[in-house]
Amino acid sequence: MKHLHRQYVWLGRFLASDPGRKRFQQAGKATISLISAVFTMLFLLDLWDYEAITPAIVAGLVGMLGVMIVMDETEAKKKVTTVLIGVSVAFGITVGSLLAHYSLLVNGLMVLVIFSAFYFSRFQIRYFSMGMAGFMAIYMSFILQLDAAHLIWFYIGISIGAVYAYFYSFILFKGSVHVLRRSMRSFHIQSNVTFTILIKMIEEPDSSEKRRKLLYRNVNRLNDYARIVSSEINDEDLKKLWPGIESSQLRLYVFDTEMLVQTLTDSLKRLKELDALESAEVRRFLVWVIRSLRDAEVLAHNYDPHYLEEAEKAIQGLRLLLTEFLNQEDKPKGVYLLRRIESIANHVLEAALTIQESLKAPGNEMKAAEETADDEPEEKKDEPSQDRSLKPQTRKGIQALVAGTLAIIVGELISPTQPYWVLLTTFIIQIGTESVGRTYMKGFQRSVGTVIGAIIGFGAAKLVSGQSELEVFLLFLVLFMALYFFTVSYTMMSLFITMLIAFMYDLLLGGISMELMGARVLDTIAGAVIALSVSALVLPKKTKHKVGDALDEFFNELESYVSAYLKGFLKNDNPPLTDQAFDLDQKLQAVKDEAASILQRPGALTRSGIGRWITVTTAINYYAKHLLASSNRKADPLVTDQLYVSVEETEEKLTQNIEALRGLLKGTGSNRQLWSLNDERAQVEKIAPSRLHSQLDIIHHLYYIWRINQSILTIGREVGAEVIETKGESG
């Protein structure tokens, strides 16, 4: 039963969704915490014959916020912040209820809290969490017209909510160990699904366009899974799950598996174009390799070594076939593609074998890891540079101050009975949107989600009106759905939040009208317009500039990455670059996220310079990852004096090119000259020993270095750089 996902692609896609079930667990914890706090408080209120239910609502608010808005780096800090959120809500409820009749003071306090949340987050992220909790408490004080006479019950409710949030987050659902195990399971299922599709495409060369699109979707999804899983791997959890395995070993295995899938996808397409798949022998060996690696359950505690032995035989068989082809005078087409597949498949096998060896002897491995850590010299930390420019948090705080003031004025004008809905929308849209483009997208998505949610919510609330138990159930259900989609689709989250409000209005305010929901839609659109206008006019951070900053971070990481890779040929060591490869992935994703508002415009990729840069940068990231994946990690790194000089010159000029390009993209660089590296490439190809006479096939290892540099020159020319052509041929 557990291998059914290998036969049915749809089942594998379903089982692998939501890697580690992080979204499900987070939304589930928040919803259960809220429900527990609400019903515990209702029980106490009923026990004491207390008629007001507002303390139960406050308890539920704390129970939910204590799970959802805690964003600290370590568990110890998260525990402190969970408690401080309760303190912030207590402060907000106290001030909000005491100042309920002084609207001017409440207005000023809410804007001040929003400003503080953004501004003080520059010091620690917990200050933003506390500010958000305080704002929501003041907001709720006004919406529910909380009475200061009930303060003692509010404090009890806040304490109960904080206790439940703490209990579910740090005691009942400790989380990270199980999340890592489930994330690795999702990664394995997704990779197996993709392997299955690849096998079918090899066995049936005339595959449909639908299957090819399915393959590319699954490859992209696997890339996302690899990035997510790599960020969750840590030594503390590994000791509990798979004693003996180091973080670097597991990350390398994840990276190699991802790269094998990418290589197979691209290579099979090219092999088909060259008619190389017409050979039954080639197809048989490729299917053998893929199937044996797919069926190897590397992290299973009851692991059967037969699986990796089978994979080793399959790769050896492909290697012998490849040797036979290379020895032929008339070499078949696509030999270099088969060679790349064999190389990366061998990396996956080696990583899997290393993991299995570590699992068999955890004591020795951990001891070795500790000794290695003791021998490592301490790295000198760079002194932080004095950056006198306006910090993003300060800019966002000032924008929030202006936008909050405008939102209160507009709210009083268009909705005097509920003036703070505009302010709430403005505040939420400003969260996580540093550029004008991101603000526009978030505002648009929230407006669309609110309109659709108002229509559905109004209809649903009318349909179940009077059936309190059913409404309460639906209220908690749509709350869970809103939290589940929080990090995936802002439109869907807004839709469910609006439905939630519709049910709450019907339950708490005795009914809901079309006019009321229409007013909420109007308030939402007004808040979105205010957020966008302020983002565009007050200390604006243009989307192009934000994309430029993200590109600069990518090329800064790339410079370090290629420099370390090339220096590995000049020193007797192999630098661990897997983490940097994943960092490049993360930074490229940040570039795409920032540029989303530009790239979604029709024809953006052809008309926009940024669209073109991102396309080329995506190719650079692809080459950089294959640079590591294609390297022979067990090769003798010694090189001849001539090769040493050529590789050293290549490293120096390539890093100079990247540095010059960064300056040109930011508009601060004075160096407009880039090296073509044609001369260095011709020199390496001339003096490098042949593959048959040396383990170090340096031409193979440097292939993607030349591709990276060519891509850098492409962007460089577009921003006005002068390319210095040397006498070598580009080849």
Dihedral angle of Cα 256, 262, 266, 268, to the nearest 10 degrees: 70
HSE-up of 49 (CA within 13 Å, CB side)? 0
577 and 607 belong to one structural domain: yes
For residue 693, what are the domain limits?
Answer: 543-724
For the chain, give the longest Cα–Cα distance.
95
Residue 44 located in a structural domain: yes
Percent with pLDDT over 70 in the chain: 85
Nearest to 78 by CA among 176, 147, 220: 176
74 and 39 belong to one structural domain: yes
**How many angstroms separate the Cα of 30 from the Cα of each of 61, 66, 469, 490?**
10, 8, 21, 18
**Backbone torsions φ then ψ of 435, nearest 5 degrees:** -115, 165
Last residue of a domain, one of 319, 353, 368: 368
507 and 639 belong to one structural domain: no
- How many CB atoms lie under 10 A from the CB of residue 619? 15
Tell whether the model's pLDDT for residue 370 goes beyond 70. no
Domain count, the chain: 4
Residue 731 has a pLDDT of 39
Please, what is the average pLDDT of the chain? 82
How far apart are the C-alpha atoms of 329 and 327, rounded to whole Å?
Answer: 6
Residue 182 located in a structural domain: no
In this prediction the pTM is: 0.77
Higher confidence at residue 179 or residue 576? 179
How confident is residue 572, by pLDDT bands cut at 50, 70 and 90? low
Percent with pLDDT over 90 in the chain: 25
Residue 364 has a pLDDT of 45
Tell whether the model's pLDDT for residue 606 goes beyond 60. no
Higher confidence at residue 42 or residue 646? 42
180-189 average pLDDT score: 83
How far apart are the C-alpha atoms of 175 and 338, rounded to whole Å?
Answer: 42
**How many angstroms separate the Cα of 267 from the Cα of each of 34, 259, 339?**
51, 12, 10
User: What are the tokens at 128?
Assistant: 């933003």
With beta carbons less than 8 A apart as the criterion, state whether 126 and 198 touch. no
Residue 272 located in a structural domain: yes
Residue 249 has a pLDDT of 84
**How many angstroms separate the Cα of 310 from the Cα of each of 216, 490, 575?**
28, 46, 30
What amino acid is encoded at 712 in this protein?
I
Predicted confidence (pLDDT) per residue in 93-147, tens digit: 999 888 877 888 888 899 999 999 999 999 999 999 999 999 999 988 887 778 8
What amino acid is encoded at 464 in this protein?
V
CB neighbour list of residue 607: distance below 8 Å, 6 or more residues apart: none
Tell whether the model's pLDDT for residue 78 goes beyond 50. yes
446 and 425 belong to one structural domain: yes
User: What are the tokens at 542?
Assistant: 């243009």
Residue 175 has a pLDDT of 60
344 and 300 belong to one structural domain: yes
With beta carbons less than 8 A apart as the criterion, state whether 346 and 276 touch. no
How far apart are the C-alpha atoms of 347 and 354, rounded to whole Å?
Answer: 11
Residue 415 located in a structural domain: yes
Higher confidence at residue 46 or residue 25? 46
Last residue of a domain, one of 505, 538, 571: 538
Greatest mean pLDDT range, 5-9, 104-108, 327-331, 599-603: 104-108
Residue 199 located in a structural domain: no
Residue 560 has a pLDDT of 92
Tell whether the model's pLDDT for residue 493 goes beyond 80. yes
Residue 303 has a pLDDT of 64
Residue 564 located in a structural domain: yes
With beta carbons less than 8 A apart as the criterion, state whether 299 and 191 touch. no
Strands 722-724, 673-675: pairing is parallel
Residue 239 has a pLDDT of 83
How far apart are the C-alpha atoms of 65 and 130, rounded to whole Å?
Answer: 10
362 and 398 belong to one structural domain: no
Residue 19 has a pLDDT of 58
329 and 399 belong to one structural domain: no
Residue 188 located in a structural domain: no
With beta carbons less than 8 A apart as the criterion, state whether 429 and 528 touch. yes
Place of tokens 């840069």: 613
Tell whether the model's pLDDT for residue 608 goes beyond 60. no
Transcribe 59-70 into DSSP letters: HHHHHHHHHHS-
249 and 274 belong to one structural domain: yes
532 and 603 belong to one structural domain: no
Judged on CB neighbours under 10 Å (0-12, 13-18, 19+), 306 is exposed
How far apart are the C-alpha atoms of 589 and 584, rounded to whole Å?
Answer: 9
699-715 average pLDDT score: 87
**How many angstroms separate the Cα of 653 from the Cα of each of 180, 687, 702, 709?**
41, 19, 14, 10
How far apart are the C-alpha atoms of 554 and 662, rounded to whole Å?
Answer: 10
221-228 average pLDDT score: 85
**Percent composition of the chain: helix, strand, coil (DSSP 3-state, to 5):** 75, 0, 20
Nearest to 62 by CA among 160, 174, 170: 160
HSE-up of 248 (CA within 13 Å, CB side)? 10
Residue 607 has a pLDDT of 47
Residue 347 has a pLDDT of 85
**How many angstroms separate the Cα of 630 from the Cα of each of 321, 343, 647, 698, 708?**
19, 6, 17, 11, 14
Last residue of a domain, one of 305, 335, 368: 368
How far apart are the C-alpha atoms of 623 and 617, rounded to whole Å?
Answer: 10
Q: At what angle do helices 22-47 and 468-484 cross, to 10 degrees?
A: 150
Higher confidence at residue 349 or residue 488? 349
Predicted confidence (pLDDT) per residue in 225-275, tens digit: 888 888 888 787 888 888 888 888 888 888 888 888 988 998 888 888 888
135 and 250 belong to one structural domain: no
Distinct helix (H) and strand (E) counts, the chain: 30, 2
Residue 161 located in a structural domain: yes
Tell whether the model's pLDDT for residue 390 goes beyond 90. no
With beta carbons less than 8 A apart as the criterion, state whether 678 and 729 touch. yes
Residue 81 has a pLDDT of 95
Tell whether the model's pLDDT for residue 380 goes beyond 70. no
Tell whether the model's pLDDT for residue 158 goes beyond 60. yes
500 and 582 belong to one structural domain: no
What radius of gyration, in Å, describes the C-alpha atoms of the chain?
29
641-670 average pLDDT score: 86
529 and 655 belong to one structural domain: no
**How many angstroms separate the Cα of 352 from the Cα of each of 245, 303, 356, 498, 707?**
11, 12, 6, 48, 30
**Backbone torsions φ then ψ of 337, nearest 5 degrees:** -70, -40
Predicted confidence (pLDDT) per residue in 292-338, tens digit: 988 887 876 666 677 788 889 999 998 898 888 878 777 778 888 88
Residue 602 has a pLDDT of 54
